[in-house]
Amino acid sequence: MDINSIKSPEFLQDLKKSELKVLCKDIRSFLIENISKTGGHLASNLGVVELTVGLHYVFNQENDKLIFDVGHQAYTHKILTGRAKQFNTLRKTNGLSGYVNYDESKYDCWESGHSSTSISAMSGFLLAKKNGQDIGDVVSIIGDSSVANGMAFEALNFVTTIEGARPIVILNDNKMGISKSVGATAKLFNAMSSTKFYRGFKRFLIKVNPKFVVSWFHKIKQALKAFAQLDNIFEDMGFDYYGPYDGNDIDCVIRVLERAKNSKKPCLIHFLTKKGLGYEKAELDEKGSFHGIGPFNIETGKQLKVYQPNEYSYSEVIARGLMEYRSENNFTLINPATMVGNRLNKFQQAYPNSIYDVGIAEEHAMSMAGAMALCGENVAVLMYSTFFQRSYDQLLNDIARRNLHVVIGLDRAGLVSSEGSTHQGIYDIAMCNSMPNVKICMGKNLAESKALIKYAFSLTGPVIVRYPKKAEFYTSDVEINSMKWEILNEGSKGYVISYGYDVLRILNIVKNNNLDLTVINARFIRPLDEEMLEYIYQTGKNIYVIEQVVNNGSLGDMIVANMNLKKCNSFIKLINIPTDSYVIQGSIDDLLKYFKLDDESIYQELKNSEN
């Protein structure tokens, strides 16, 4: 079938089951071919092809709501809703989003860049339907790792209490989050998956027998469960539990979904799927290398991006710094399901008893770290900046309020390429500036970032080390033993203050254009270097503060408040991201240009300082 010709899911009703199987095969080939060129979330999408086709086949009314938890698993959904022709623009500037996106299609009913929100959203849709809104069936599709998050359990606890509602929850169980699923829920799902014989028998039962026989068997199973008093957490919450079933068998998927559609009770359907199905290298991947991947060679599975000698990602260098520090000092490292992205696999192999992957549970990770610090333990937490937002209350009340010493590494800080508005690292400074005791720093290069993660252990209270999603050349180690700012270039006509890799970009702009400006590396964003600021104020010269974060709560915002306190009347210009802005999807170069943070825009702004 010509995948590019698909305009809407309506065509599925005209296909025979045999044709649906061919369609699923064609979609897999299409996904592998296209993602190998653009990059994207490969393995998760290969695993849910039959499940997504079945959902659109059974729930085919325009007012039905299919809510994808973590929108990166919705590529097949995009294809079936007429967006295949745009896949060559996937994750590019002005191109097809890598997630569910309201602006792309009427079929995208819930944007979900972060996990575990789908069942809460389902509750909202069902309540709106109860109030008279024209809403059909509401279905949440959530993974085994996402459902373990506290928010998902809060919603599961509530949704079955909505009077007259019939929520349908699809549990997509592939034993993987980004990498292998962890924790007690993962063990629970393994137990619920039962034996291969039992799963095969259920598959046979679904295929061979009419619906009333299948329903009769289901009721007998429930009765036996009640007699034996066997626990099923979902049935205890009020769901009619179906499963586990083979989520990669389109016949089975359709028949089970039709049963749920015709049911009058809240339903939870447990489907077993294979992450990466159809591409052997992704199927065999247990580390999560094919979860999110850049452009790659289909034959070898290797990414086309080749690192040069001495070129490393910030994530890799931070992980190396933690390993070096652990070789001489005991501490515990906590990570919420981003082990692969944070490059912590080597740390885990070297120190398996010093690292804990707690799953998609940022709030839990932060409070657990706080309790360890309260007991006098050395502890660090690594996560992405965008997911860090979910732990605001725990950081504020359980760590910052008591000034507990926890080192927090924030990966993907600043603008992030290709990910759109839901995965940007531009809010963490504003978030933490509302809290007492928190120190925030960011290195200007790889060496300084590695030094800061080590230096953070020698400080007191919560210390946040930010670093970007970026690769650079590494020269040699440096040592940092002070929170003072660093003057990189002396000038007489004004000051430019920045941090992170931006400060070196600015330094090059100033030197290459012979601008007579002092460039300052404010590697400690908080606390402010009051001594240097006091000297700057006394000169009365112009001040420019440039940073890849939202304006409110930024370093520049703090300096303005400090100037007001000191009654300083110097001119100051903040060059950052407007707080009420919407971050587009695009490359870093395009994002910097969009917010006028690119080299040319900065040059045009700074050259005016000399007039």
**CA-CA-CA-CA dihedral for 385, 183, 192, 247, to nearest 10:** 30
141 has pLDDT over 60: yes
How far CA 10 is from CA of 7, 81, 100, 478, in Å, comes to 8, 9, 20, 61
User: Which ranges of 209-296 does DSSP label H, i.e. alpha helix?
Assistant: 211-228, 233-236, 250-262, 280-283
Which pLDDT does position 207 carry in this prediction? 60
User: pLDDT of 498-548, one tens digit each?
Assistant: 999 999 999 999 999 999 999 999 999 999 999 999 999 999 999 999 999
Name the residue with higher pLDDT: 286 or 426. Answer: 426
Which pLDDT does position 70 carry in this prediction? 84
Which pLDDT does position 211 carry in this prediction? 58
Which pLDDT does position 148 carry in this prediction? 87
User: pLDDT of 52-97, one tens digit each?
Assistant: 999 999 998 889 999 999 888 999 999 999 999 999 999 999 999 9
Which pLDDT does position 229 carry in this prediction? 40
User: pLDDT of 440-470, one tens digit each?
Assistant: 999 999 999 999 999 999 999 999 999 999 9
Burial degree of 579 (CB within 10 A; 0-12, 13-18, 19+): middle
**Mean pLDDT of the region 12-34:** 96
Which pLDDT does position 227 carry in this prediction? 39
Which pLDDT does position 608 carry in this prediction? 81
C-beta separation of 48 from 56 below 8 A: no
Helix (H) or strand (E) holding 194: none
CA 568 to chain centre: 41
Q: Report the percentage of the chain scoring pLDDT > 70.
A: 91
User: How confident is residue 149, by pLDDT bands cut at 50, 70 and 90?
Assistant: confident
Alpha-carbon distance of 554 to 558, in angstroms, equals 6
| Domains in the chain: ranges and CATH | 3-293 (3.40.50.970), 311-473 (3.40.50.970), 486-610 (3.40.50.920)
User: pLDDT of 398-417, one tens digit each?
Assistant: 999 999 999 999 999 999 99
pTM to 2 decimal places: 0.90
Alpha-carbon distance of 169 to 115, in angstroms, equals 15
201 has pLDDT over 70: no
Alpha-carbon distance of 72 to 225, in angstroms, equals 36
User: pLDDT of 231-258, one tens digit each?
Assistant: 578 998 999 999 999 999 999 999 999 9
